[in-house]
Amino acid sequence: MVRLTVDLIVKSNNRLKSKTKSSIQGYLKKLTHINFSNKNIDDIDDLSMCRSLTVLYLYDNQITRICNLNFASALTHLYMQNNKITQIENLSCLRKLSKLFLGGNNITLVEGLEQLRELKELHIEGQRLQPGEKLLFDPRTLHGLSGSLCVLNINNNNIDEILDLAILNKLTHLHAADNQLDDIQELEMVFSQWPQLHQMDLHGNPVCQKPKYRDRLITACKSLGELDGKEITEVSRQFLIKWKASKDAKKKITDGRNLTGQITYPSSADFPLSPKHTFAYCSAGFLGKRKPHWFARPTMKMRSGAVYPDCGDISVKNHEDPLSTGLITDIQETKFQSHMAL
């Protein structure tokens, strides 16, 4: 195994072999890029002499821990994908770090990045997880990255929900393919919190098989220009937005009608009426029975006072109560009794 040291850096540069010690030190102090990818590196030694380092390539190695990088306050790009790293640590001093590549490691929790307020890109795809495990996110890290992170790559990490990621409202690119996302309503809610989202890849998730999957996400993401590798034109976006607005309006009207239809009125079946009861004959038509021809249909008159049936020759004044004023004469009362006897 190989340990990354200052001597190894010097030896890798043939032009430094004939240089003096002071010249070598001057070179190391000005060195901005170090590339030791695929060199079988398993550990990082003290590189504090490289104080101007801005880009460090250490991908495709055997590194198990992130360490000895506290000196690199000017570092902006760190490439450590495809190693054996199990924990994100010792990066809080890299305040200018803009791009971090940690894909293809053994990481189960995204943590320790809350101090990186200038981090624009986080690539943590394809972690080598144990069966049943999924990549998790520390809320403190998500809160710390919410004001800067634009690109997030979480492909192939067995992720089944992204509700916690809603706080990342600066995202412009999301790569979340080959996961276990299945709840389209959750996705719509989260994506509506990302007004700058321009490109998104969700292929390989169960949610892609949902009806209207593409249409629903396009209407939820107002600025989305590409979904699953397919371009979204402004014409198609506006069509879908209008279609959704029309659908919502129709649903609102239908819901209103259903709410109004909840008002019900009692039927004659709710009351045990005898065959001779006036209302029994009146409601016979509703029960599918034939009304007797000899029976005059009673009607109900609506008044501000009491309500009385209009039965043939019986006359009642609209503004007076016949029972209290004595307006029903003996003759009228006799007719009323005869009529009811029928």
| Band of residue 23 on the pLDDT scale cut at 50, 70, 90 | confident
- Pair (231, 85) in one structural domain: yes
Residue 260 in domain: no
Q: What residue numbers bound the domain in which 329 lies? A: 269-341
More confident residue, 245 or 134: 134
Digit-coded pLDDT (tens) for 125-148: 999 999 999 999 999 999 999 999
pLDDT of residue 109: 97
Q: Is the pLDDT of residue 118 over 60?
A: yes
Whether 262 maps to a domain, the answer reads no
| Average pLDDT of the segment spanning 24-29 | 89
Average pLDDT over residues 239-246: 70
Res 169 pLDDT > 50? yes
**Worst-scoring range by mean pLDDT, 123-127, 196-200, 255-259?**
255-259
Interval 240-265 mean pLDDT? 66
Q: What is the mean pLDDT of residues 53-76?
A: 96
Whole-model pTM: value is: 0.71
Average confidence score pLDDT of the chain: 81
What CATH number does the domain containing 74 carry? 3.80.10.10
324 occurs within a structural domain: yes
> At 13, is the pLDDT very low, low, confident or very high (cuts 50, 70, 90)?
confident
Q: What is the distance between the alpha carbons of residues 168 and 164, in angstroms, rounded to a whole number?
A: 9
> Is there a single domain that holds both residue 128 and residue 210?
yes
**One domain, residues 195 and 286:** no
Confidence at residue 15, expressed as pLDDT on a 0 to 100 scale: 79
**What's residue 24's pLDDT?**
86
Q: What is the pLDDT of residue 199?
A: 96
Are residues 303 and 230 part of one domain? Answer: no
Residue 198 domain-assigned?
yes
In a domain, 258, yes or no: no
**Residues 330, 209 share a domain:** no
288 and 218 assigned to the same domain: no
Low-confidence winner among 43-47, 212-216, 237-241, 298-302 (lowest mean pLDDT): 298-302
Residue 40 placed within a domain: yes
**168 pLDDT higher than 80:** yes
List pLDDT tens digits, range 98-109. Answer: 999 999 999 999
3-state secondary structure the chain: CEEECHHHHHHCCHHHCCCCHHHHHHHHHHCCEEECCCCCEEEECCCCCCCCCCEEECCCCCCCCCCCCCCCCCCCEEECCCCCCCCCCCCCCCCCCCEEECCCCCCCEECCCCCCCCCCEEECCCCCCCCCCCCEECHHHHHHHCCCCCEEECCCCCCCCCHHHHHCCCCCEEECCCCCCCCHHHHHHHHCCCCCCCEEECCCCHHHHCCCHHHHHHHHCCCCCEECCEECCHHHHHHHHHHHHHHHHHHHHHHHHHHHCCCCCCCHHHCCCCCCCHHHHHCHHHHCCCCCCCCCCCCECCCCCCCCECCCCCCCCCCCCHHHHCCCCHHHHHHHHHHHHC
Number of domains in the chain: 2
Last residue of a domain, one of 179, 210, 245: 245
Residues 208 and 281 reside in one and the same domain:
no
Residues 32, 120, single domain; the answer is: yes
pLDDT at 261: 60
| Same domain membership, residue 274 and residue 240 | no
What pLDDT score was predicted for residue 324?
A: 43
Q: Are residues 207 and 125 in the same domain?
A: yes
Same domain for 237 and 291, yes or no, is: no
Question: Which comes out higher in pLDDT, residue 66 or 301?
Answer: 66
> Are 277 and 239 in the same domain?
no
How much is the average pLDDT of 1-22?
A: 86
Closest CA to 132 of 153, 113, 110, 108: 108
Domain final residue, candidates 188, 212, 245: 245
With 50 as the cut, is the pLDDT of residue 313 above it? Answer: no
The reply to whether 255 falls in a domain is no
Residue 275 has pLDDT above 90, yes or no: no
The answer to whether position 274 is within a domain reads yes
Which of 245, 279, 310 is where one domain is finished?
245
